[in-house]
């Protein structure tokens, strides 16, 4: 890790002569960071930052976001270039290893991932233990966590080779688990992976293929799937990634950590948003109801949010949303969908929101999930699978961040503090003496 000292700031406590000089650190890009580690020791005070809006929890070399400028870089490479010119597996190599692979490195990585796509046959029986109507994210949490019960030979997190194998297994098997969660829910035979297909093709094959007839690859759709996976692969210290890191900081095995990440991703404020966008559009029903919906969103007492809008970090535009919007049009054109009422509504919603002072003043713009749901729906992916697909893509980022955490000698168990506002110390009162 290599942040550099760039200066210092002095914190003085008003009303006393106590002060602390705190080092300022700088990374390659982004704002300077005050290193507050000595603050408690020197002044006896904690810092307070609920939601961590101004807190760097770690050093990382993986992903950089400039929320004001709408910049997203994976290992320094702009997301637009990667989405246009790279492939998901190449991006996975980049995120995990720090550099783009040469031909030989790529071939070896590709082989490593494709050779791990099958699940232990006993894991197959897990699926039958779930109700058919279980949400596939619930199945994902369970089966990914259960991988630790099957792959004992790569649980030693201090062995780099075991970490490497665990990374391969997670990246390779997560699409199989995701597709099987879906197949199980619709009562179709579970489709075994095909290693002659690309990562995105194989995923679509396992989702849509049936033994009764040959599966035909549509290159436009598999390219769109590949792009969706690239766009969702990593996003620095978001809620699910921070969850993976926090779990990882305890020394928990990688399968447990990724299962924790999947759980955090499930929420509608995070990965569940793409599913929520479609639900919202369906509930609004038709464009003439949009103004009424927007006024409900603006009503402080309503708790209604415009799903797919807003982001903790992007306060200008989400660069992923731009690419997603283009991909959305490409996919609909390929599928010959000229009038997609949901897309028309989404575009009308975007137009109205972007000209409304409520959204402008709060810097609320469409995020990646505003359009991804519409593409996935057009591709025939059921709504309940949207967040699962996000989890498949983000597994690469989670694994890369987990690996970086384990390899960082300065890492300690994550253990935030609090402002305690509960009762002061008091004596226990026996039940018969309580009022």
Catalytic machinery residues = 311, 369
Q: How far is the CB of 254 from ligand ACO (least distance, A)?
A: 22
Structure tokens at 8: 């210092």
Q: How far is the CB of 239 from ligand ACO (least distance, A)?
A: 8
Q: Interface with ligand ACO by CB under 6 A: which range of 61-69, 139-147, 300-308, 398-406?
A: 300-308
Q: How far is the CB of 219 from ligand ACO (least distance, A)?
A: 27
Dihedral sign (CA 281, 283, 288, 291): negative
Interaction between residue 309 and ligand ACO (CB under 6 A)? yes
Closer Cβ to ligand ACO, 68 or 108, answer by number:
68
Q: Interface with ligand ACO by CB under 6 A: which range of 7-15, 41-49, 188-196, 305-313?
A: 305-313
**C-beta of residue 184 within 8 angstroms of C-beta of residue 190:** yes
User: Using the rule CB under 6 A, which residue among 27, 248, 308, 373 binds ligand ACO?
Assistant: 308
Q: Which residue is nearest to ligand ACO (CB)?
A: 310
Q: Going edge to edge, which strands form the sheet with 63-66?
A: 63-66, 71-74, 77-78
Closer Cβ to ligand ACO, 197 or 368, answer by number:
368
Phi, then psi, of 297 in degrees rounded to 5: -60, -40
User: Using the rule CB under 6 A, which residue among 297, 343, 349, 385 binds ligand ACO?
Assistant: 297
Q: Which run of H or E residues covers position 25?
A: strand 19-26
Residue 55 CA to residue 34 CA, distance in Å, equals 9
Residue 172 CA to residue 166 CA, distance in Å, equals 10
Q: How far is the CB of 291 from ligand ACO (least distance, A)?
A: 15
Interaction between residue 322 and ligand ACO (CB under 6 A)? no
Interaction between residue 95 and ligand ACO (CB under 6 A)? no
Half-sphere exposure of 125 (CA within 13 A, CB side): 3
Residue 324 CA to residue 112 CA, distance in Å, equals 29
Closer Cβ to ligand ACO, 51 or 435, answer by number:
51
Residue 369 CA to residue 233 CA, distance in Å, equals 13
Rg (C-alpha) for the chain, rounded Å, is: 24
Interaction between residue 270 and ligand ACO (CB under 6 A)? yes
What mask of x and - would describe binding to ligand ACO in positions 130 to 169, judged by CB under 6 A? ----------------------------------------
Closer Cβ to ligand ACO, 257 or 368, answer by number:
368
Non-local (6+) Cβ contacts of 393 within 8 A are 88, 228, 229, 230, 231, 232, 233
Q: How far is the CB of 369 from ligand ACO (least distance, A)?
A: 5
Q: Which of residues 24-53 bind ligand ACO (CB under 6 A)?
A: 51
Start-to-end CA distance of the chain, whole Å, equals 58
Phi, then psi, of 223 in degrees rounded to 5: -65, -40
What mask of x and - would describe binding to ligand ACO in positions 357 to 386, judged by CB under 6 A? -----x-x--xxx-----------------
Dihedral sign (CA 94, 97, 102, 106): negative
Non-local (6+) Cβ contacts of 174 within 8 A are 140, 144, 258, 391, 392, 395
User: Using the rule CB under 6 A, which residue among 170, 191, 204, 273 binds ligand ACO?
Assistant: 273
Q: Which of residues 48-77 bind ligand ACO (CB under 6 A)?
A: 51
- Binding residues vs ligand ACO (CB under 6 A): 51, 269-271, 273, 297, 305-312, 362, 364, 367-369
């Amino acid at each position: 890790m290599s942040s550099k000292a760039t200066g210092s700031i002095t914190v003085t406590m008003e009303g006393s002569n106590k002060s602390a000089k705190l080092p300022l650190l700088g990374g390659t890009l982004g704002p300077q960071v005050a290193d507050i580690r000595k603050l408690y020791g020197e002044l006896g005070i904690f810092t307070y930052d609920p939601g961590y809006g101004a807190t760097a929890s770690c050093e990382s070399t993986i992903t950089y976001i400039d929320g004001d400028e709408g910049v997203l870089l994976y290992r320094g490479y702009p997301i637009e270039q990667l989405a246009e010119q790279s492939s998901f597996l190449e991006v996975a190599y980049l995120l995990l290893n720090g550099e783009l692979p040469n031909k030989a490195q790529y071939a070896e990585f590709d082989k490593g991932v494709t050779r791990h796509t099958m699940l232990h046959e006993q894991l197959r029986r897990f699926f039958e233990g779930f109700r058919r109507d279980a949400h596939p994210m619930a199945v994902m949490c369970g089966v990914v966590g259960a991988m630790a019960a099957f792959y004992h030979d790569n649980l030693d997190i201090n062995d780099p080779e075991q970490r490497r194998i665990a990374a391969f297994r997670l990246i390779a098997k997560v699409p199989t688990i995701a597709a099987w969660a879906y197949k199980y829910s619709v009562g179709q035979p579970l489709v075994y992976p095909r290693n002659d297909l690309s990562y995105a093709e194989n995923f679509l094959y396992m989702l849509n293929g049936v033994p009764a007839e040959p599966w035909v690859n549509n290159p436009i759709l598999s390219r769109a799937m590949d792009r969706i996976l690239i766009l969702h692969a990593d996003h620095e210290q978001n809620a699910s990634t921070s969850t993976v890191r926090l779990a990882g900081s305890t020394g928990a095995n990688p399968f447990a950590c990724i299962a924790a990440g999947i759980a955090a991703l499930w929420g509608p404020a995070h990965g569940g948003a793409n599913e929520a966008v479609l639900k919202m559009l369906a509930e609004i029903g038709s464009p003439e109801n949009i103004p009424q919906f927007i006024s409900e969103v603006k009503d402080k007492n309503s708790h209604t949010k415009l799903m797919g809008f807003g982001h903790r970090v992007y306060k200008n535009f989400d660069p992923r949303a731009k690419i997603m919007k283009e991909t959305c049009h490409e996919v609909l054109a390929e599928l010959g969908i000229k009038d997609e009422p949901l897309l028309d509504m989404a575009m009308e919603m975007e137009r109205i929101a972007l000209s409304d002072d409520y959204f402008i003043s709060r810097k609320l713009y469409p995020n990646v999930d505003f359009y991804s749901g519409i593409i996935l729906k057009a591709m025939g992916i059921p709504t309940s699978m949207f967040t699962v697909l996000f989890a498949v893509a983000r597994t690469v980022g989670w694994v890369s961040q987990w690996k970086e955490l384990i390899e960082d000698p300065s890492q300690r168990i994550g253990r935030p503090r609090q402002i305690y506002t509960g009762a002061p110390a008091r004596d226990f009162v026996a039940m018969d003496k309580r009022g």
